């Protein structure tokens, strides 16, 4: 896989870091999405908003359950998204959503609305 590198001064790097953080994605994903004008519903921020609208306190869900018929991403990409969601929940909204346990033979993370 080709790698592209570029340099930023501290000010621009901090701005880029904050922009990616606001969307709950990595800097690499943020740059890719912006560069290629990609819009996706598979972002941690979108998933949190969906979960808070769809589920009540004490209810549990997995990401495929949350998205239902919209869950169209491939297995490898789904794993990356799951990891991003886990990190986002742990760092940005642990007072609203918590990791509960692994389900489906340890293949999927289950979360609980607090």
Q: Is 80 exceeded by the pLDDT of residue 1? A: no
Mean pLDDT of 79-97: 93
Alpha-carbon separation of residue 19 from 6, 112, 114 (angstroms): 17, 27, 27
- Per-residue pLDDT reduced to its tens digit, 19-64: 998 888 889 989 999 999 988 899 999 999 999 999 999 999 999 9
Distance CA(31)–CA(26), nearest Å, equals 9
On whether both 33 and 51 belong to a single domain, the answer is no
Q: Which domain holds residue 103?
A: 41-113
Quote the pTM value. 0.79
Q: How many structural domains compose the chain?
A: 2
On whether both 23 and 62 belong to a single domain, the answer is no
């Amino acid at each position: 896989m080709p790698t592209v590198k570029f340099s930023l001064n501290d000010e621009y790097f901090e701005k880029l870091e904050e922009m990616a953080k606001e969307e709950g994605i990595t800097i690499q994903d943020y740059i890719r999405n912006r560069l290629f004008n990609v819009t996706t519903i598979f972002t941690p921020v979108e998933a949190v908003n969906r979960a808070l609208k769809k589920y009540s306190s004490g209810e549990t869900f997995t990401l495929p359950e949350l998205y239902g018929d919209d869950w169209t991403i491939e297995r490898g990409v789904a794993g990356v998204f799951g990891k991003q969601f886990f990190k986002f929940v742990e760092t940005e909204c642990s007072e609203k959503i918590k990791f509960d346990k692994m389900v489906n033979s340890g293949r999927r993370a289950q979360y609980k609305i607090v």
